């Protein structure tokens, strides 16, 4: 009889243990399922955020492209026009020929690199010595010719009277062309169709 009771108690313990294990298993599965759902929700949120980021980047790229296009159409770009001084001609004072002071005349080569006819160019000519040190800066507008796209024109009518009391004038006059350097900064381009390109920096 005692043995029967022991066996009954052992069976009861095993049943309770099995029930406990089943409940633990169910609870564990529930937690795993809850974690899987959380992970799945986080992945969906991450995908949504990535999609929104990609769309924002695409929108930014489109806006930047439009701004760059507008800037190119309205602002002077490096390379719009190529301006070179090809020679410097000294014209000595000659009262008999109504030349009352020494003069310097420059020959310019001007190439239009844009896709529109150019009516005029406003800019500054920087005349430098052999070492690149600026001697004289002067406003220098290139007008009088309509320059077609990819066309190069020559202008030989630009120069200035030498003031003998100004050292920079005298230095420009007395220095050989081969010992001078020239830099032309474009401030404004006027096209034949009436549109204008302006420099951001303006006259230096």
| H or E element, residue 18 | helix 2-74
Read off the pLDDT band of 203 (50, 70, 90): very low
Listed residue (72, 79, 83) closest to 145, CA to CA: 83
pTM of the model: 0.64
CA gap 144, 129 in Å, rounded: 29
Residue 178 predicted with pLDDT over 70 = yes
CA gap 79, 110 in Å, rounded: 12
Residue 186 predicted with pLDDT over 60 = yes
Read off the pLDDT band of 47 (50, 70, 90): confident
Q: What is the pLDDT of residue 204?
A: 41
More confident residue, 85 or 69: 85
Listed residue (176, 156, 180, 182) closest to 90, CA to CA: 176
183-193: b (≥16 Cβ within 10 Å) or e: ebbbbbbbbee
Question: For the chain, what percent of residues have pLDDT higher than 90?
Answer: 54
Residue 200 predicted with pLDDT over 90 = no
CA gap 81, 117 in Å, rounded: 11
| H or E element, residue 110 | strand 103-112
Residue 181 predicted with pLDDT over 50 = yes
More confident residue, 62 or 127: 127
Residue 153 predicted with pLDDT over 80 = yes
Read off the pLDDT band of 62 (50, 70, 90): low
CATH class entry, domain 81-198: mainly beta
Calculate mean pLDDT across residues 111-131: 96
Q: Please tell me the least confidently modeled range out of 17-26, 149-158, 189-198.
A: 17-26
Listed residue (68, 66, 119, 78) closest to 201, CA to CA: 78
Q: What is the pLDDT of residue 5?
A: 56
CB 182 within 8 A of CB 107: no
Sorted by where each begins, the domain ranges of the chain are 1-74, 81-198
Q: What is the pLDDT of residue 125?
A: 97
More confident residue, 16 or 122: 122
Residue 71 predicted with pLDDT over 60 = no
């Amino acid at each position: 009889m005692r043995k029967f009771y022991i066996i009954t108690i052992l069976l009861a313990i095993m049943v309770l243990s099995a029930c406990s294990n089943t409940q633990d298993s169910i609870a564990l599965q529930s937690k795993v399922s809850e974690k899987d759902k959380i992970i799945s929700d986080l992945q969906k949120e991450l995908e949504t955020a990535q999609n929104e980021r990609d769309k924002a980047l695409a929108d930014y790229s489109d806006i930047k492209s439009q701004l760059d296009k507008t800037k190119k159409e309205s602002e002077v770009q490096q390379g719009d026009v190529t301006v070179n001084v090809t020679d410097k001609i000294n014209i000595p004072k000659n009262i008999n020929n109504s030349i009352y002071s020494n003069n310097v005349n420059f020959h310019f080569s001007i190439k239009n690199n844009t896709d529109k006819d150019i009516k005029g160019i406003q800019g500054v000519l920087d005349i430098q010595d052999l070492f690149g040190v600026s001697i004289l800066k002067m406003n220098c507008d290139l007008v009088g010719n309509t320059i077609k796209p990819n066309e190069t024109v020559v202008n030989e009518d630009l120069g200035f009277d030498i003031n003998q009391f100004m050292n920079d004038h005298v230095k420009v006059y007395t220095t050989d062309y081969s010992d001078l350097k020239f830099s032309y900064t474009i401030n404004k381009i006027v096209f034949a169709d009436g549109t204008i390109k302006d420099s951001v920096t303006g006259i230096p």
